[in-house]
Protein backbone atom coordinates (compact mmCIF):
# COMPACT_ATOMS: atom_id res chain seq x y z
CA UNK A 1 0.00 0.00 0.00
CA UNK A 2 1.32 3.35 -0.95
CA UNK A 3 2.24 5.36 2.22
CA UNK A 4 2.24 8.68 0.49
CA UNK A 5 -0.86 10.65 1.28
CA UNK A 6 -2.93 12.08 -1.47
CA UNK A 7 -2.19 15.59 -2.55
CA UNK A 8 -4.79 18.13 -1.53
CA UNK A 9 -7.01 19.31 -4.31
CA UNK A 10 -5.90 22.53 -5.93
CA UNK A 11 -7.78 25.72 -5.00
CA UNK A 12 -10.65 26.47 -7.21
CA UNK A 13 -10.50 29.60 -9.26
CA UNK A 14 -13.46 31.87 -8.67
CA UNK A 15 -15.78 32.37 -11.56
CA UNK A 16 -14.87 35.33 -13.66
CA UNK A 17 -11.19 35.19 -12.80
CA UNK A 18 -9.34 36.36 -15.90
CA UNK A 19 -6.28 34.38 -15.09
CA UNK A 20 -5.66 31.45 -17.48
CA UNK A 21 -6.58 27.97 -16.43
CA UNK A 22 -3.54 26.29 -14.90
CA UNK A 23 -2.78 22.64 -14.62
CA UNK A 24 -3.94 20.95 -11.48
CA UNK A 25 -1.02 18.59 -11.48
CA UNK A 26 1.31 19.07 -8.56
CA UNK A 27 4.61 20.48 -9.57
CA UNK A 28 7.35 18.35 -8.19
CA UNK A 29 11.00 19.06 -8.32
CA UNK A 30 14.25 18.70 -6.53
CA UNK A 31 14.45 19.93 -2.99
CA UNK A 32 15.68 23.48 -2.50
CA UNK A 33 19.39 24.05 -2.18
CA UNK A 34 21.03 23.61 1.18
CA UNK A 35 21.66 27.31 1.59
CA UNK A 36 18.01 28.16 1.11
CA UNK A 37 16.21 29.49 4.15
CA UNK A 38 12.51 30.30 4.34
CA UNK A 39 11.82 34.02 4.39
CA UNK A 40 10.98 35.87 7.53
CA UNK A 41 7.69 37.60 7.83
CA UNK A 42 8.00 41.33 7.42
CA UNK A 43 7.52 43.22 10.65
CA UNK A 44 5.22 46.20 10.88
CA UNK A 45 8.05 48.23 12.33
CA UNK A 46 9.96 50.51 9.96
CA UNK A 47 12.70 48.76 8.00
CA UNK A 48 16.04 49.76 9.49
CA UNK A 49 18.21 47.96 6.99
CA UNK A 50 20.35 49.93 4.58
CA UNK A 51 18.40 51.88 2.04
CA UNK A 52 19.77 49.83 -0.86
CA UNK A 53 18.31 46.36 -1.09
CA UNK A 54 18.11 43.64 -3.67
CA UNK A 55 15.12 43.59 -6.00
CA UNK A 56 12.25 41.33 -5.11
CA UNK A 57 12.41 37.76 -6.47
CA UNK A 58 10.29 36.85 -9.50
CA UNK A 59 6.72 35.73 -8.89
CA UNK A 60 6.29 32.10 -7.95
CA UNK A 61 3.69 29.53 -8.70
CA UNK A 62 0.84 30.14 -6.21
CA UNK A 63 -0.05 26.44 -6.30
CA UNK A 64 3.28 25.27 -5.00
CA UNK A 65 3.01 23.39 -1.69
CA UNK A 66 5.51 23.59 1.13
CA UNK A 67 8.47 21.23 0.82
CA UNK A 68 8.13 17.87 2.49
CA UNK A 69 10.56 15.90 4.61
CA UNK A 70 12.10 12.67 3.28
CA UNK A 71 9.42 10.65 5.12
CA UNK A 72 6.74 12.61 3.38
CA UNK A 73 5.77 14.74 6.36
CA UNK A 74 5.91 18.52 6.57
CA UNK A 75 8.84 19.98 8.50
CA UNK A 76 8.17 20.07 12.21
CA UNK A 77 10.03 23.32 12.80
CA UNK A 78 7.67 25.19 10.52
CA UNK A 79 4.21 26.12 11.69
CA UNK A 80 1.51 26.15 9.12
CA UNK A 81 0.69 29.65 8.15
CA UNK A 82 -2.61 31.25 8.82
CA UNK A 83 -5.25 29.47 6.81
CA UNK A 84 -3.40 26.08 6.59
CA UNK A 85 -5.12 22.78 5.87
CA UNK A 86 -7.82 22.03 8.36
CA UNK A 87 -8.44 25.71 9.06
CA UNK A 88 -10.87 28.01 7.32
CA UNK A 89 -9.45 30.03 4.48
CA UNK A 90 -6.69 27.57 3.75
CA UNK A 91 -4.29 28.48 0.94
CA UNK A 92 -1.04 26.71 -0.02
CA UNK A 93 2.08 28.42 1.19
CA UNK A 94 3.89 30.37 -1.46
CA UNK A 95 7.62 29.79 -1.27
CA UNK A 96 10.05 31.99 -3.24
CA UNK A 97 12.39 30.13 -5.54
CA UNK A 98 16.12 30.87 -5.85
CA UNK A 99 17.09 33.00 -8.79
CA UNK A 100 19.10 31.05 -11.36
CA UNK A 101 22.70 32.14 -11.66
CA UNK A 102 22.96 33.26 -8.03
CA UNK A 103 22.82 36.93 -8.84
CA UNK A 104 20.67 37.67 -5.84
CA UNK A 105 20.93 36.10 -2.42
CA UNK A 106 17.77 34.43 -1.08
CA UNK A 107 15.84 36.12 1.68
CA UNK A 108 16.85 35.13 5.23
CA UNK A 109 14.90 32.36 6.92
CA UNK A 110 12.51 33.23 9.72
CA UNK A 111 13.48 31.61 13.04
CA UNK A 112 11.25 28.85 14.29
CA UNK A 113 8.47 29.94 16.57
CA UNK A 114 8.45 33.54 15.30
CA UNK A 115 4.92 34.54 14.75
CA UNK A 116 4.41 36.49 11.52
CA UNK A 117 2.76 39.81 11.94
CA UNK A 118 1.59 40.15 8.37
CA UNK A 119 1.02 37.91 5.42
CA UNK A 120 4.18 36.62 3.81
CA UNK A 121 2.84 37.47 0.41
CA UNK A 122 2.34 41.18 1.25
CA UNK A 123 5.01 43.53 -0.08
CA UNK A 124 7.28 45.01 2.57
CA UNK A 125 6.88 48.72 3.40
CA UNK A 126 9.30 50.84 1.51
CA UNK A 127 11.61 53.00 3.59
CA UNK A 128 11.32 56.72 2.85
CA UNK A 129 13.87 57.89 0.35
CA UNK A 130 16.06 60.89 0.86
CA UNK A 131 14.34 64.03 -0.28
CA UNK A 132 10.88 62.45 -0.21
CA UNK A 133 8.20 62.91 2.39
CA UNK A 134 7.29 60.00 4.62
CA UNK A 135 3.62 59.25 4.07
CA UNK A 136 3.21 58.34 7.74
CA UNK A 137 4.30 61.80 8.88
CA UNK A 138 2.50 65.13 8.27
CA UNK A 139 3.84 67.26 5.47
CA UNK A 140 5.53 70.19 7.23
CA UNK A 141 7.60 71.41 4.31
CA UNK A 142 5.10 74.16 3.61
CA UNK A 143 4.13 74.65 7.24
CA UNK A 144 7.74 75.32 8.24
CA UNK A 145 8.27 78.40 6.00
CA UNK A 146 4.78 79.63 6.92
CA UNK A 147 5.64 79.33 10.61
CA UNK A 148 8.86 81.24 10.03
CA UNK A 149 6.99 83.99 8.23
CA UNK A 150 4.45 84.12 11.04
CA UNK A 151 7.18 84.44 13.66
CA UNK A 152 8.94 87.10 11.57
CA UNK A 153 5.72 89.11 11.25
CA UNK A 154 5.04 88.74 14.96
CA UNK A 155 8.55 89.93 15.80
CA UNK A 156 8.21 92.89 13.42
CA UNK A 157 4.83 93.72 14.95
CA UNK A 158 6.33 93.76 18.44
CA UNK A 159 9.13 96.07 17.29
CA UNK A 160 6.64 98.44 15.68
CA UNK A 161 4.50 98.37 18.81
CA UNK A 162 7.48 99.25 21.00
CA UNK A 163 8.45 102.10 18.66
CA UNK A 164 4.87 103.37 18.63
CA UNK A 165 4.67 103.26 22.41
CA UNK A 166 7.94 105.13 22.67
CA UNK A 167 6.70 107.75 20.23
CA UNK A 168 3.53 108.17 22.27
CA UNK A 169 4.87 107.80 25.78
CA UNK A 170 8.00 109.92 25.38
CA UNK A 171 6.21 113.18 24.41
CA UNK A 172 3.62 112.64 27.14
CA UNK A 173 6.31 111.98 29.74
CA UNK A 174 8.28 115.03 28.61
CA UNK A 175 5.11 117.14 28.71
CA UNK A 176 4.44 116.25 32.33
CA UNK A 177 8.11 116.69 33.21
CA UNK A 178 8.30 120.21 31.81
CA UNK A 179 4.90 121.07 33.26
CA UNK A 180 6.21 120.27 36.72
CA UNK A 181 9.06 122.76 36.12
CA UNK A 182 6.81 125.74 35.42
CA UNK A 183 6.95 128.71 37.77
CA UNK A 184 3.55 129.27 39.34
CA UNK A 185 1.87 132.06 41.27
CA UNK A 186 -1.56 132.37 42.85
CA UNK A 187 -3.07 134.90 40.46
CA UNK A 188 -6.68 133.74 39.97
CA UNK A 189 -7.83 133.02 43.51
CA UNK A 190 -11.40 133.95 44.36
CA UNK A 191 -12.31 137.16 46.11
CA UNK A 192 -15.54 138.71 47.30
CA UNK A 193 -17.71 139.95 44.44
CA UNK A 194 -15.64 138.35 41.68
CA UNK A 195 -16.99 138.61 38.15
CA UNK A 196 -18.98 135.57 37.01
CA UNK A 197 -17.90 133.43 34.07
CA UNK A 198 -18.12 135.12 30.68
CA UNK A 199 -18.33 133.48 27.23
CA UNK A 200 -15.11 132.37 25.62
CA UNK A 201 -11.67 131.99 27.19
CA UNK A 202 -9.64 134.96 28.38
CA UNK A 203 -5.91 135.11 29.10
CA UNK A 204 -4.10 137.93 30.84
CA UNK A 205 -0.57 138.19 29.38
CA UNK A 206 1.87 140.34 31.32
CA UNK A 207 5.38 141.30 30.23
CA UNK A 208 7.58 142.57 33.02
CA UNK A 209 10.96 144.24 33.19
CA UNK A 210 12.17 141.70 35.74
CA UNK A 211 15.90 141.05 35.40
CA UNK A 212 15.90 138.06 37.72
CA UNK A 213 18.29 135.36 36.57
CA UNK A 214 20.34 137.63 34.29
CA UNK A 215 24.06 137.97 34.77
CA UNK A 216 25.82 141.31 34.51
CA UNK A 217 27.08 140.35 31.05
CA UNK A 218 23.56 139.47 29.91
CA UNK A 219 22.19 142.75 31.25
CA UNK A 220 24.83 144.58 29.26
CA UNK A 221 24.20 142.61 26.08
CA UNK A 222 20.43 143.07 26.32
CA UNK A 223 20.61 146.71 27.48
CA UNK A 224 18.15 146.04 30.28
CA UNK A 225 19.71 148.28 32.93
CA UNK A 226 20.12 147.42 36.60
CA UNK A 227 16.72 148.31 38.04
CA UNK A 228 15.50 146.00 40.78
CA UNK A 229 12.04 144.53 41.19
CA UNK A 230 9.46 143.94 38.47
CA UNK A 231 7.12 146.40 36.78
CA UNK A 232 4.70 145.84 33.96
CA UNK A 233 6.21 146.53 30.59
CA UNK A 234 3.13 145.37 28.70
CA UNK A 235 -0.37 144.15 29.56
CA UNK A 236 -2.43 142.22 27.00
CA UNK A 237 -5.65 140.26 27.02
CA UNK A 238 -6.00 137.28 24.69
CA UNK A 239 -9.71 136.76 24.04
CA UNK A 240 -10.74 133.46 22.44
CA UNK A 241 -14.44 133.91 21.61
CA UNK A 242 -16.91 131.03 21.23
CA UNK A 243 -16.88 131.70 17.49
CA UNK A 244 -14.88 133.90 15.21
CA UNK A 245 -11.27 135.01 15.18
CA UNK A 246 -9.29 135.37 18.40
CA UNK A 247 -8.29 138.81 19.63
CA UNK A 248 -5.10 140.25 21.09
CA UNK A 249 -6.06 143.33 23.09
CA UNK A 250 -3.43 145.72 24.42
CA UNK A 251 -4.24 147.43 27.70
CA UNK A 252 -2.10 150.58 27.93
CA UNK A 253 -0.23 150.63 31.20
CA UNK A 254 -1.06 154.36 31.55
CA UNK A 255 -4.81 153.62 31.58
CA UNK A 256 -6.29 155.36 34.61
CA UNK A 257 -8.55 152.89 36.45
CA UNK A 258 -9.77 152.16 40.00
CA UNK A 259 -7.47 149.76 41.87
CA UNK A 260 -9.02 147.85 44.83
CA UNK A 261 -7.72 149.23 48.11
CA UNK A 262 -5.68 151.97 46.40
CA UNK A 263 -8.07 154.28 44.61
CA UNK A 264 -7.63 155.37 40.96
CA UNK A 265 -4.17 155.08 39.47
CA UNK A 266 -2.46 153.96 36.34
CA UNK A 267 -3.15 150.28 35.86
CA UNK A 268 0.51 149.28 36.09
CA UNK A 269 0.46 150.43 39.74
CA UNK A 270 -1.71 147.39 40.56
CA UNK A 271 1.09 145.01 39.60
CA UNK A 272 3.82 147.14 41.18
CA UNK A 273 2.00 147.17 44.54
CA UNK A 274 0.01 143.92 44.66
CA UNK A 275 1.55 141.60 42.07
CA UNK A 276 -0.33 139.34 39.74
CA UNK A 277 -3.34 138.77 42.00
CA UNK A 278 -4.15 142.47 42.41
CA UNK A 279 -3.61 143.10 38.69
CA UNK A 280 -6.08 140.35 37.73
CA UNK A 281 -8.69 141.68 40.17
CA UNK A 282 -8.23 145.20 38.81
CA UNK A 283 -8.70 144.09 35.19
CA UNK A 284 -11.76 141.97 36.02
CA UNK A 285 -13.55 144.69 37.99
CA UNK A 286 -12.67 147.38 35.48
CA UNK A 287 -13.65 145.44 32.34
CA UNK A 288 -16.35 143.09 33.63
CA UNK A 289 -14.59 140.18 31.88
CA UNK A 290 -13.60 137.05 33.79
CA UNK A 291 -9.92 136.08 33.45
CA UNK A 292 -9.45 132.32 33.05
CA UNK A 293 -5.66 132.00 32.64
CA UNK A 294 -2.62 134.02 33.57
CA UNK A 295 0.90 134.06 32.06
CA UNK A 296 3.80 136.34 32.84
CA UNK A 297 7.16 136.67 31.07
CA UNK A 298 10.22 138.71 31.96
CA UNK A 299 13.39 139.85 30.28
CA UNK A 300 15.28 136.83 31.54
CA UNK A 301 13.79 134.34 29.08
CA UNK A 302 12.27 136.24 26.21
CA UNK A 303 15.46 136.30 24.16
CA UNK A 304 15.96 132.57 24.76
CA UNK A 305 12.55 131.79 23.27
CA UNK A 306 13.42 133.68 20.11
CA UNK A 307 16.82 132.02 19.82
CA UNK A 308 15.31 128.57 20.39
CA UNK A 309 13.06 128.82 17.33
CA UNK A 310 15.86 130.13 15.14
CA UNK A 311 14.76 133.76 15.13
CA UNK A 312 11.57 135.44 13.94
CA UNK A 313 11.24 137.09 10.55
CA UNK A 314 9.70 140.56 10.60
CA UNK A 315 9.26 143.24 7.93
CA UNK A 316 9.92 146.81 9.07
CA UNK A 317 8.44 149.80 7.28
CA UNK A 318 11.30 152.01 8.39
CA UNK A 319 14.64 151.68 10.16
CA UNK A 320 14.62 151.75 13.97
CA UNK A 321 17.28 153.27 16.23
CA UNK A 322 17.00 153.27 20.02
CA UNK A 323 20.26 153.32 22.04
CA UNK A 324 18.33 152.88 25.31
CA UNK A 325 16.93 149.55 24.08
CA UNK A 326 20.11 148.58 22.23
CA UNK A 327 18.15 148.57 18.96
CA UNK A 328 19.59 149.18 15.50
CA UNK A 329 17.50 147.72 12.71
CA UNK A 330 17.24 148.49 9.01
CA UNK A 331 14.07 148.70 6.98
CA UNK A 332 12.76 145.62 5.14
CA UNK A 333 12.21 141.96 5.98
CA UNK A 334 14.80 140.38 8.24
CA UNK A 335 15.17 137.65 10.85
CA UNK A 336 15.49 139.06 14.36
CA UNK A 337 17.57 137.30 16.99
CA UNK A 338 16.80 137.31 20.71
CA UNK A 339 18.48 140.61 21.59
CA UNK A 340 16.95 142.42 18.59
CA UNK A 341 13.49 141.08 19.33
CA UNK A 342 13.70 142.17 22.98
CA UNK A 343 14.78 145.64 21.93
CA UNK A 344 11.94 145.86 19.42
CA UNK A 345 9.17 145.08 21.93
CA UNK A 346 10.68 147.46 24.50
CA UNK A 347 11.39 150.54 22.40
CA UNK A 348 9.13 153.60 22.62
CA UNK A 349 11.04 155.67 20.06
CA UNK A 350 7.85 156.56 18.18
CA UNK A 351 5.72 159.66 17.95
CA UNK A 352 2.94 157.95 19.94
CA UNK A 353 5.43 156.32 22.30
CA UNK A 354 3.67 153.62 24.33
CA UNK A 355 0.61 153.36 22.08
CA UNK A 356 2.74 152.43 19.10
CA UNK A 357 4.90 150.10 21.14
CA UNK A 358 1.94 147.93 22.15
CA UNK A 359 1.13 147.50 18.46
CA UNK A 360 4.63 146.14 17.84
CA UNK A 361 4.31 143.85 20.85
CA UNK A 362 1.05 142.32 19.60
CA UNK A 363 2.39 141.74 16.09
CA UNK A 364 5.63 140.25 17.32
CA UNK A 365 3.85 137.92 19.78
CA UNK A 366 1.62 136.59 16.98
CA UNK A 367 4.67 136.09 14.73
CA UNK A 368 6.56 134.30 17.52
CA UNK A 369 3.65 131.91 18.19
CA UNK A 370 3.29 131.25 14.47
CA UNK A 371 6.97 130.36 14.24
CA UNK A 372 6.89 128.20 17.38
CA UNK A 373 3.95 126.13 16.09
CA UNK A 374 5.34 125.70 12.57
CA UNK A 375 6.45 122.24 11.33
CA UNK A 376 10.03 123.53 11.10
CA UNK A 377 10.05 123.78 14.91
CA UNK A 378 7.60 121.11 16.05
CA UNK A 379 9.20 118.38 13.92
CA UNK A 380 12.74 119.37 14.81
CA UNK A 381 13.78 118.12 18.26
CA UNK A 382 16.73 120.53 18.22
CA UNK A 383 14.20 123.38 18.05
CA UNK A 384 11.16 122.26 19.99
CA UNK A 385 12.92 121.02 23.14
CA UNK A 386 15.02 124.18 23.59
CA UNK A 387 11.90 126.27 23.00
CA UNK A 388 9.88 124.35 25.59
CA UNK A 389 12.79 124.46 28.02
CA UNK A 390 13.18 128.20 27.47
CA UNK A 391 9.44 128.76 27.93
CA UNK A 392 9.50 126.85 31.20
CA UNK A 393 12.33 129.03 32.51
CA UNK A 394 10.91 132.29 31.18
CA UNK A 395 7.19 132.21 32.03
CA UNK A 396 5.16 132.19 35.21
CA UNK A 397 1.59 130.89 35.22
CA UNK A 398 -1.28 130.53 37.64
CA UNK A 399 -1.38 127.53 39.93
CA UNK A 400 -4.18 126.02 37.85
CA UNK A 401 -2.49 126.47 34.47
CA UNK A 402 -0.42 123.88 32.65
CA UNK A 403 1.93 123.58 29.73
CA UNK A 404 -0.80 122.25 27.43
CA UNK A 405 -2.85 125.39 28.17
CA UNK A 406 0.05 127.47 26.88
CA UNK A 407 0.32 125.28 23.80
CA UNK A 408 -3.40 125.76 23.11
CA UNK A 409 -3.01 129.52 23.40
CA UNK A 410 -0.09 129.48 20.98
CA UNK A 411 -2.09 127.55 18.37
CA UNK A 412 -5.07 129.87 18.71
CA UNK A 413 -3.31 133.22 18.35
CA UNK A 414 -0.82 132.22 15.66
CA UNK A 415 -1.39 133.56 12.19
CA UNK A 416 -3.65 136.57 11.87
CA UNK A 417 -5.67 137.33 15.01
CA UNK A 418 -7.56 140.59 15.48
CA UNK A 419 -5.18 143.03 17.17
CA UNK A 420 -6.41 146.20 18.81
CA UNK A 421 -5.91 148.54 21.76
CA UNK A 422 -8.49 149.35 24.42
CA UNK A 423 -10.15 152.62 23.32
CA UNK A 424 -10.10 155.65 25.63
CA UNK A 425 -11.23 159.26 25.71
CA UNK A 426 -7.72 160.64 25.42
CA UNK A 427 -5.02 162.02 27.69
CA UNK A 428 -5.57 163.82 30.95
CA UNK A 429 -3.25 165.07 33.66
CA UNK A 430 -3.66 163.20 36.93
CA UNK A 431 -1.75 162.76 40.16
CA UNK A 432 0.20 160.00 38.39
CA UNK A 433 1.09 162.26 35.45
CA UNK A 434 -0.34 162.07 31.94
CA UNK A 435 -2.87 159.26 31.89
CA UNK A 436 -5.36 157.71 29.48
CA UNK A 437 -8.92 158.20 30.68
CA UNK A 438 -11.51 155.46 30.01
CA UNK A 439 -14.79 156.61 28.52
CA UNK A 440 -17.99 155.44 26.88
CA UNK A 441 -16.17 153.65 24.07
CA UNK A 442 -14.15 151.73 26.65
CA UNK A 443 -17.29 150.44 28.36
CA UNK A 444 -18.90 149.47 25.03
CA UNK A 445 -15.75 147.66 23.94
CA UNK A 446 -15.58 145.41 27.01
CA UNK A 447 -19.36 144.92 27.07
CA UNK A 448 -19.22 143.15 23.69
CA UNK A 449 -16.40 140.92 24.91
CA UNK A 450 -18.22 140.08 28.16
CA UNK A 451 -21.29 139.05 26.13
CA UNK A 452 -19.24 136.94 23.68
CA UNK A 453 -20.16 139.19 20.75
CA UNK A 454 -18.01 140.50 17.94
CA UNK A 455 -16.59 143.97 18.60
CA UNK A 456 -17.76 146.56 16.03
CA UNK A 457 -15.20 147.93 13.61
CA UNK A 458 -15.53 151.48 14.90
CA UNK A 459 -14.25 150.36 18.31
CA UNK A 460 -11.15 148.70 16.88
CA UNK A 461 -7.89 150.48 16.28
CA UNK A 462 -6.06 149.54 13.10
CA UNK A 463 -2.67 150.36 11.71
CA UNK A 464 0.30 151.79 13.50
CA UNK A 465 3.48 150.15 14.60
CA UNK A 466 6.73 149.59 12.78
CA UNK A 467 5.61 146.42 10.93
CA UNK A 468 3.95 146.24 7.56
Could you state, in order of their start, the residue ranges of all structural domains in the chain?
A: 145-180, 181-459
Q: What is the tens place of the pLDDT at every residue in 165-200?
A: 877 788 788 888 889 989 999 999 888 889 999 999
Residue 438, pLDDT > 90, answer yes
CATH of 181-459, picked from 3.30.365.10, 3.50.80.10, 3.40.630.190, 3.90.550.10, is: 3.40.630.190
1 pLDDT more than 50: no
**pLDDT(23) > 50:** no
Rounded Cα distance between 465 and 463, Å, is 7
Mean pLDDT within 328-350: 85
pLDDT at 115: 55
CB-count burial class (<10 Å; 0-12, 13-18, 19+) for 423: buried
Range of lowest pLDDT (84-98, 247-261, 292-306): 84-98
More confident residue, 100 or 352: 352
Residue-wise pLDDT for 227-252, tens only, equals: 555 667 789 999 999 888 999 999 98
Q: pTM, whole model, 2 decimals?
A: 0.63
> Running DSSP on this structure, what letter comes out for residue 39?
B
Q: What is the 3-state secondary structure (H, E, C) of 184-251?
A: EECCCCCCCCCCCCCCCEEEEEEEECCCCCCCHHHHHHHCCCCCCCCCEEEEEEEEECCCCCCEEEEC
Instruction: Check pLDDT > 70 for residue 97.
Output: no
DSSP collapsed to 3 states, 265-307: EECHHHHHHHHHHHHHHHHHHHHCCCCCEEEEECHHHHHHHHH
User: Using CA atoms, how far apart are residues 39 and 35, in angstroms rounded to an integer?
Assistant: 12
Mean residue pLDDT of the chain comes to 76
**Is the model more confident about 172 or about 399?**
399
Listed as own residue / partner, the contacts of 320-324 with beta carbons closer than 8 Å and 24 or more positions apart are 320/344, 320/347, 320/349, 320/466, 321/349, 322/347, 322/348, 322/349, 324/223, 324/349
pLDDT at 317 over 90: no
> Could you report the per-residue pLDDT of 24-61, keeping only the tens digit for each?
455 555 665 556 565 655 555 555 555 655 666 666 66
Would the CA dihedral through 399, 403, 406, 412 be positive or negative? Answer: negative
466, 317 Cβ separation under 8 angstroms? yes
Amino acid sequence: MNSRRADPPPPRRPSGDPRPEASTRRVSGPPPPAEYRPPLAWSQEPDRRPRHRAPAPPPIDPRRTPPRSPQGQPPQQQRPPHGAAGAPGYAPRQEPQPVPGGRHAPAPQRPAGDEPRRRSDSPPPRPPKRGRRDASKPDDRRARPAAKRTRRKFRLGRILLVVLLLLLITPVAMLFYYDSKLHRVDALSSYAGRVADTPGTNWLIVGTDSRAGLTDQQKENLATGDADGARTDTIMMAHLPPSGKPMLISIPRDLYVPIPGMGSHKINAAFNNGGAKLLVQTVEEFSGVRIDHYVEIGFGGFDQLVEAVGGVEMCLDKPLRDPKAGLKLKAGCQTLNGAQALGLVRTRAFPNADLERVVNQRKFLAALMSRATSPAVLLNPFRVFPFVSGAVDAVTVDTGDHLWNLAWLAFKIKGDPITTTVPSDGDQATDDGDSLIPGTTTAQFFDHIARGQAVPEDLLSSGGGAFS
